[in-house]
Amino acid sequence: MDHNKLALPVGTTLDRFIMRKQEDFPYATGELSQLLRDIALAAKIVNREINRSGLIDIAGAYGNRNVQGEDQQKLDVIANIRFIRALRNGGEVCTIISEEDEDMIQTGNDQGKYVVAIDPLDGSSNIDVNVSIGTIFSIYRRVSPTGRPGTSADCLQPGTHQVAAGYVIYGSSTMLVYTTGNGVNGFTYEPSLGEFFLSHPDIQTPKTGAIYSINEGASDTFSPGVVAFVKHCKDASFSARYIGSLVADFHRNLLKGGIYIYPATGKAPKGKLRLMYECNPLAFIVEQAGGRSSDGYQRTLSIEPKDCHARCPIFIGSQDLVEQAEAFMAQETAPVAATLAST
């Protein structure tokens, strides 16, 4: 009998994978590896809180609104605290920008070489109905001198300057997916061992797909280009799949092929999603997986941020579908395009 079959390997842990990949960075001395571990630790803690949210009083509204004017859920606040605490205690991050805080958060680690932009709990309004939610993060190297607090210049870097980005999806299983600019890898959490294990190596998104994801409840205020592209999807018998949780919609389309769209609308004339901690990190990931992301006219990662909480439209997913959407947007009449740009 082959005794090895009695105890099959459990796979590659996230920690071991990070250490092996450290050589991808000629300038790395371990700080980025530690930072990714800090994020993974906070994700494990948030996963625990989410899984027991129906058993203790941490579901539902918190009673405040965040800087976006959105009602905070209790788990929004908990997740924000957990990630900020982990990043502060890790010592590698000088400054954090979070969806839940209006101002930059100085960690007190003035020697820290990195800045993190984070949406601690995306889709949190779905918590009470047990729909998948997530965390999205983006990592930059600071540009200001060390030894002092981080600056707005550190935080307002274009997406092309990201050194790492990722998301965690808390669903039927919990997964952490990230890139450091050398491909995309996914890790599934094994709760009995308390470890993330490599489950989706070298993720490549299909070049095309047959899924479109958009909130058609606002279709009366879509621009002509968006309306025409959605009609094109329907004429091609695409499947409409929209969960209302960005991470969940993006994750499905990343693996299966498709396009996610949150365009400019009458209610959100500049788009709803935030550039720094939603659009940029997911754009970095999708490009590393062979896909594409734009605001309908230009590459998402090339947009120059003007504010930590700036919003932008997004068309993200399979390369062919995003290019098709951009072609429809380019066909909009000049007066319509000019009107949208000025709103």
User: Was 123 annotated as part of a binding site?
Assistant: yes
Q: Is 332 annotated as belonging to a binding site?
A: no
The answer on whether 260 is annotated among ligand-binding residues is no
Separation CA 280–CA 263 (nearest Å): 15
Model confidence pLDDT, tens digit, residues 177-207: 999 999 999 999 999 999 999 999 999 999 9
Is residue 119 a known part of a binding site? Answer: yes
- Whether 334 shows a pLDDT value over 50: the answer reads no
The model's pTM: 0.90
99 is in an annotated binding site: yes
Please, what is the angle between helix 31-51 and helix 14-21, to 10°?
A: 160
Ordered by where they begin, the domains of the chain are: 14-200 (3.30.540.10), 211-342 (3.40.190.80)
Integer Cα distance of 115 and 22 in angstroms: 19
Residue 340: pLDDT over 70: no
Instruction: Decide: helix, strand or coil at residue 318.
Output: coil
Any binding-site annotation on 272? yes
pLDDT at 5 over 60: no
10-24, 100-114, 180-194, 209-223: which range is least confident on average? 10-24
Q: Does the annotation list 121 as a binding residue?
A: yes
What's the number of CA atoms in the CB half-sphere (13 Å) around residue 76? 24
Q: Percent of the chain scored above 70 by pLDDT?
A: 86
Per-residue confidence (pLDDT) for residue 57, from 0 to 100: 52
Q: What is the pLDDT of residue 163?
A: 95
Whether the per-residue pLDDT at 66 is higher than 60: the answer is: no
Element (H, E) at 325: helix 319-330
pLDDT value of residue 4:
58
Residue 30 pLDDT level (bands cut at 50, 70, 90): confident
CA dihedral 174, 134, 113, 21 (to 10 degrees): 30
The pLDDT confidence band at residue 124, using thresholds 50, 70 and 90, is confident
**Could you give the 3-state DSSP secondary structure of residue 309?**
coil
Q: pLDDT band at 128, cuts 50/70/90?
A: confident
Contact 81/45 with Cβ under 8 angstroms? Answer: no
Q: For residue 281, give the DSSP letter.
A: H
- What lies within 8 Å, CB to CB, of 145 at 6+ separation is none
| Span 212-238, pLDDT tens digits | 999 999 999 999 999 999 999 999 999
The dihedral through the CA atoms of 150, 151, 154, 155 has a sign that is positive
Q: What is the pLDDT of residue 126?
A: 83
Q: How far, in Å, CA of 55 to CA of 49, rounded?
A: 10
Distances (CA, A) of 143 to 108, 242, 339: 17, 38, 36
pLDDT at 20: 85
Of 120, 126, 138, 119, the closest CA to residue 47 belongs to 120
> What was the pLDDT predicted at 50?
87
* Residue 83 near residue 72, CB atoms below 8 Å: no
CB 285 within 8 A of CB 137: no
Q: What is the pLDDT of residue 127?
A: 77
